[in-house]
Structure 1
Amino acid sequence: MVADYRSEVRPSVITDLETKVSKENYGKYLKRLTLRKLRGFTDREVTFDFPVTALVGPNGGGKTTVLGAAALAYKSVAPGRFFAKSGKYDASMQNWSIEYELIDKELNPRLSVSRTASFKQLKWNRTAPEREVLVFGVERTLPATERSKLKAAIGGSFAAAREVTLAPEVTEHAAKILAKPIEGFRQLYVDDAGKVSLFSGLTPRGDGYSEFHFGAGEASVIRIVAEVEAASPGAMILIEEIENGLHPVAAQRMVEYLIGVAHRKSCQVVFTTHSNDALAPLPSKAIWAALLGNVIQGKLDVKALRTITGQIEAKLAIFVEDEFAELMVTTALRSHGGIELDEIKVHAMGGADPAIKVNAQHNIDPTCTYPSICILDGDQSERANPDKGIFTLPGASSPEAHVLNRVLDCLDEEAGRLAVALHLGLHDQERVKKVVKERALTNWDRHMVWEQIGGDLDFTSGHIVKSAFLTIWAHKFPGEVEALVEAIGGGLPRRDSDTP
């Protein structure tokens, strides 16, 4: 993920969208789908709790299957677009079935609507309602020279049937995603029917050039934005591998743009990705992982997926709730000594439920070559179950609050060490004490306190502040570190010299 990423989407927008979904304030919206039987899935449910949903997973894990299942909810998408049948070679399609729960105020102004799609007697049977659906497949990033439909546009005699200057809103949003001006760009229609088109642009000197000389990512972004801006309110937008052809920052900006579209046009977006950067702007409930015939909701990032599917060598996987817990566990294991950290992979899951569910799934998977455990926040102690590999961090509150309070307890004697850990000088220790005590008193959300302290101390990054406080905590309270390590017990890989 791009370092020090900060989303430009206001938290209020995320909250507004979550509330809009929970209150079902949509004319048309896909609320959930249940894969009764579809490819490798049996009786698996996906809920769309946020109007921009990311599907992650390893190759062959089922991301596109879920995307295609969402598409089949509506009449405008032909089943063959995602689930084509190839004669006798696809006999396994028999009795495939998907169930849907939809909001469609035209069909029922007050209650959800149930619909199905099934493959029986060699054909798809659907009771699908109408909705505008835009599908952007991976072919969108093919270079213009490799797209057969554009052959008519090659040659010195080509003249477009129609030329349209891109609308201001298209140029504005595309320019922000691409970080380059695109004023003066046009859409060139190859045929009279307007079904085939390409773009043309201008160099900074004003010289024209066609899409045959665009970067694949540049053309893809402009095409997506142009079609999305022209779509009707409430449309569904489906995108395969959203990061294709894009710089990591551009992938983040594309997702931020789509969140904005969902907010101002009540659109619903579902996309697949292999990119952690594309996940960064989204809340945990907006992310679903597809793997091993299962679907798991939560911020299960691509690195965690590689661990789960055995693509990373390890002797133990540890799943925790969030990034601070990940840092706390790593700090504790490092400070304890004798533990082989290189053989342990710690992953933040975006909540207690995803951490518990992924841990359970990992340990029952016969293909996994090493075990996993789950370490929840201290305020989840009632869910601890060592027999199932579920432990908790020290303290009875959130780990952020616990660590802050512990450091406050010893702040007068440890202010100098804390100042140095914050990359400041010893002469700054009194200022550090003042800032920490003031922020501890005025802060309402302990998850935000590190950034607030950092902002008061010469704009030190929140990550440095977290690491500094955790260093002091581990140094001053080794008993808590020891208790955590002892609770985990023999599952921790140790250096040879420390093995009993």
Structure 2
Amino acid sequence: MKLSPSELKTEMDKVRDNKFNKYVKRVTLRNVRGFEEEVIDFKTPVTALIGTNGGGKSTILGAVALAYKNMKPSKFFPKSFYGDDSMSEWEIELEITDKDSAVDRNITRTAKFKQLKWRRDNFPERTVAYIEIQRTVPAGELTKFNRFLAGNKENFDEASLNPETILYASAVLDKDITNYKEIRSKTDASSKMYVGRALNGSDYSQFHFGAGEASIIDTIDRIENSPENTLILIEEIENGLHPVAVRLLVNYLTNAAKRKKLQIIFTTHSQDAVNELEPEAVWASINKKVWNGKLSIESLRAITGQMVNSKVIYVEDNFVKEWVDNAIGRYLPKLAPTINVYAAGGYPNLVNVSKFHNQNPTIKTPSIALVDGDVLGRPGVGELPKNAMFIGDTYPDAIVFNYIAKNKNELASVIRQRCLLTRFDVARISSEIESIMNSACDHHVYFTNLSNKLDFVSEIFIRAGMIDLFNEYNPDFWKTIMDFISEELTEK
């Protein structure tokens, strides 16, 4: 069910090359609910919108829906006669791929709120499925299910679930739902209820489902019954779900998007959901500002000032976070308890996040950014601002692993001890490290591949041990960086 990295890249390339028949490529928000001029590019078929409460995730979701004239703006942007006077200045510009309107180019449309109503001239149509947060409310608390409490069975049809719904919902729930049924009103096709079957063979209605179980089945059923090229919008994908189910559901979404040529956008507060996506697929909306990249949910707390007692360092990913945390503990032990390191995505995202952090008047503690050195010299990468610095001159995981590989003979016995590899002799360890280097594999999988070669010893132990060794034997590498950290985070 989960797509491979190469398949994810292929899907991203399809978006870039306008291979979809219908696709929202870009949304620009002007004066909309606090957004002044923010641009969101949808680079992947499945996109996660993360952020703080009130940060603007649902606003972006609604703005995307406005790309199609069959969607009513009032569903996402209702106007009250109290407090909504500023809507007269709202403007949403959309860049859209629509092969029915233009085969060889994208089209641009602008939705404006003028004279108490939305103006959307010459907008295209598309099937849109909006999966609301209400799906997670127990059936007994929703009035739409009241008709199933008392009535005549002759007024309802019973049917098996879609085979694809059964296949993928069973995978996400980790239980067989082959015998589940759908009960639908003969007079109102939108009125339906699910009936499950227990292990002992007895049936039970949706009134006795867990909220998460009903949510997953309903979400997958709606997606599998949608036509190709549908736009799927989902509010708070993790609501009511176990973290494992969240990860599996996101994997399902990427799979469904590929199979059915869908565009799927969801909001979330879940780190588990974010972890299953590429950095390009994640947009963070914080205080009406947006950033593209794999910001961790934890880092959002720092950006918004919730980590008020800590100085902050933003890095690109979790490997660098572990690397820098270890180095600070070793070389700046007195300062270490006052510093938190957060993964904030690639360049220039982490630089912009750090800049926003330092400009936020509600945050009294400073931040800096440490940028992976692999972007040095690339087109468009200029001089870093005062509160940012490059760390090394290439990929961080390559720096660490290459050093260990180059010095494996001298360090073999220490590697054996630090990486908890005592079941192997030093010759085996050295041989497998050399094999990794000879394989010319991607630097991102150095530690994973070594783990596989050493009988699946924990990659976590191998990575932590090698990071610790590198940091111990390379004080010169860290001196300038530690001086920068000490100066920038103690002078304010």
TM-score > 0.5 by shorter chain:
yes
Question: Cα offset for 1:159?
Answer: 5.4
Identify the match of residue 323 of structure 1 among 318, 326, 340: 318
Confirm or deny: 8 A CA contact 2:303 2:356 kept in the other structure. no
- Tell me how far apart the structure 1 counterparts of residues 458 and 355 of structure 2 sit (CA, whole Å): 35
Shift of 1:226: 1.1
Aligned counterpart for 1:245 among listed residues 235, 240, 243: 240
3-state SS of 1:352 partner: coil
Structure 1, residues 330-379: CA drift from partner, whole Å, max 9, x if none? 11111114234332221222312211111111111212221111101223
Displacement of 1:195 in angstroms is: 1.9
Q: Give the aligned partner of residue 391 of structure 1.
A: 389
* Residue 381 of structure 1: how far off its partner (Å): 4.4
Q: Does the 8 Å contact 2:420/2:462 carry over to 1?
A: no
Distance change >3 Å, CA 271–CA 426, structure 1 → 2: closer
Give SS of 1:351's match: coil
* Runs of 4+ residues over 6 Å off in structure 1: none
**Partner of residue 97, structure 2:** 103
Q: CA RMSD in A?
A: 1.8
Q: Distance in 1 between matches of 2:189 and 2:328?
A: 62
Pick closer, same or farther for the CA change 1:427–1:138 going to 2, 3 Å. closer
Residues 306-327 of structure 1, C-alpha deviations (whole Å, 9 max, x = no match):
1111122343111112222112
1:12 to 6, 9, 28: 6
**Structure 1: stretches of 5+ with no match in the other structure:** 1-6, 494-498
TM-score by length of 2: 0.95
Partner of 1:69: 63
Q: CA deviation at 1:134?
A: 0.2
Change in 2 beyond 3 A, CA 1:198/1:342: farther
Question: SS of the counterpart of 1:94?
Answer: helix
1:98 deviates by 0.2
Counterparts of 2:143 and 2:21, CA distance in 1: 38
Q: Does 1:442 align with 2:442?
A: no
Q: Within 1, Cα distance between the matches of 2:355 and 2:295?
A: 14
Aligned residue for 2:84, secondary structure, equals helix
Change (3 A) 1:100 1:351: same
Matched, 1:37 2:31: yes
Taking the aligned partners of 1:131 and 1:379, their CA distance within structure 2 comes to: 41
2:202 and 2:255 map into 1 onto residues whose CA distance is 33
Q: Comparing 30-39 with 120-129, which one deviates more in the overlay? A: 120-129
Once residues 345 and 40 of structure 1 are traced to their aligned partners in structure 2, the CA distance between those partners, rounded to angstroms, is 30
Question: What is the CA–CA distance in structure 1 between the aligned matches of 2:370 and 2:160, rounded to whole Å?
Answer: 55
Q: How many pairs were matched up?
A: 487
Give the corresponding residue for 1:496.
Answer: none
Residue 472 of structure 2 is aligned to residue 472 of structure 1: no
Quote the offset at 1:438 in angstroms: 2.0
Check whether the contact 1:420–1:426 (CA below 8 A) recurs between aligned residues.
Answer: no
Distance apart, 1:185 and its partner CA: 0.9
Deviation at 1:160, TM superposition (A): 5.0
Is the Cα–Cα contact under 8 Å of residues 182 and 195 in structure 2 kept in the other structure? yes
Partner of 2:349: helix, strand, or coil? helix
- The alignment partner of 1:388 has SS state of coil
The SS at the match of 2:308 is: coil
Q: Which amino acid aligns with 1:26?
A: F
Aligned equivalents of 2:99, 2:74: Cα separation in 1 = 28
What corresponds to 2:307 in structure 1?
312
CA-CA distance at 1:388 after TM superposition: 2.3
Amino acid at match of 2:179: G
Q: Which residue of 1 aligns with 2:135?
A: 140
One-letter amino acid of the counterpart of residue 60, structure 2: V
| 1:367-378 superposed matches below 5 A | 367-378=362-373
Letter in structure 2 aligned against 1:265: K
Secondary structure at the counterpart of residue 194 of structure 2: strand
Question: 2-side partners of 1:210 and 1:160: how far apart?
Answer: 17
Distance in 2 of aligned mates of 1:34 and 1:173 = 35
Gap runs ≥5 in structure 2? none
**Alignment partner of 1:281 is 2:279:** no
- Bigger Cα displacement from structure 2, 259-268 vs 343-352: 343-352
- Does 2:227 correspond to 1:232? yes
Q: Which moved more, 1:354-363 or 1:306-315?
A: 306-315
Tell me the residue number matched to 2:189: 194
1:156–1:109 CA distance, 2 compared to 1 (3 A) = closer
Q: Please report how far the alpha carbon of residue 30 of structure 1 lies from its aligned counterpart in structure 2 after TM superposition.
A: 0.3
Partners in 2 of 1:102 and 1:130 — Cα distance?
Answer: 11
Q: Secondary structure at the match of 1:270?
A: strand
- Letter aligned with residue 12 of structure 1: S
The one-letter amino acid paired with 2:43 is: D
The one-character-per-residue Cα deviations of 1:266-321 (angstroms, maximum 9, x if unpaired) are: 10000000001011221001100011221100001210101111122343111112
SS at 1:32 equivalent: strand
